[in-house]
Amino acid sequence: MRLTTRSRYGTRMALDIAQNGATSPVRISDIAQRQGVSVKYLEKLIRELKQAGFIRSKRGPRGGHMLAKEPREISVGEIVRVLEGDISLVECKTNEEKCPRFEDCVTRNLWVTASDAMYERLNAITLADLLHDLEECADPTKRNPSLK
């Protein structure tokens, strides 16, 4: 299983808004330029994140997009679910019609457990955590204390 560009770019876009939109809205064209993603693609993703209540928009010359919640209140798992749906490693996790061995499959629980573990980890990481990681990456003394 792989996450599509929807999750990867959507997370990067939300992080960009968290990083650059604390005091004023961020224009989608600026995000597109910084992230190297087309405006058209980001517009599709932002619409879905807005409908889910993670982004709010302001129209006008000083308009753009801001987070509708605090960065600590938005998990990567939530972003992935909005943009991908509730993906799992196997189709038979919730749809017994996909597998004739649904009731007695020994390995089904393994795949269900692995899927659940992935979401548990993604749910534990917030935009605030990623902002913190960005700060550490930007400061060479935090990456390598011997530079102090």
* CATH number for position 127: 1.10.10.10
Tell me the pLDDT tens digit for each residue of 12-56: 999 999 999 988 999 999 999 999 999 999 999 999 999 999 999
Which tops the pLDDT comparison, 85 or 131? Answer: 131
Structural domain span for residue 88: 5-142
Whole-structure pTM value = 0.84
The pLDDT of residue 96 is above 70: no
Q: Let me know if residue 14 belongs to a domain.
A: yes
In angstroms, rounded to a whole number, what is the distance separating the alpha carbons of residues 24 and 114?
A: 40
Tokens 């605090």 identify what position?
Answer: 70
Compute the average pLDDT of residues 112-125.
91
User: In 3D, which of 127, 49, 47, 40 has the Cα closest to residue 81?
Assistant: 49
What total of structural domains would you count in the chain? 1
pLDDT band at 73 (very low <50, low <70, confident <90, very high): very high
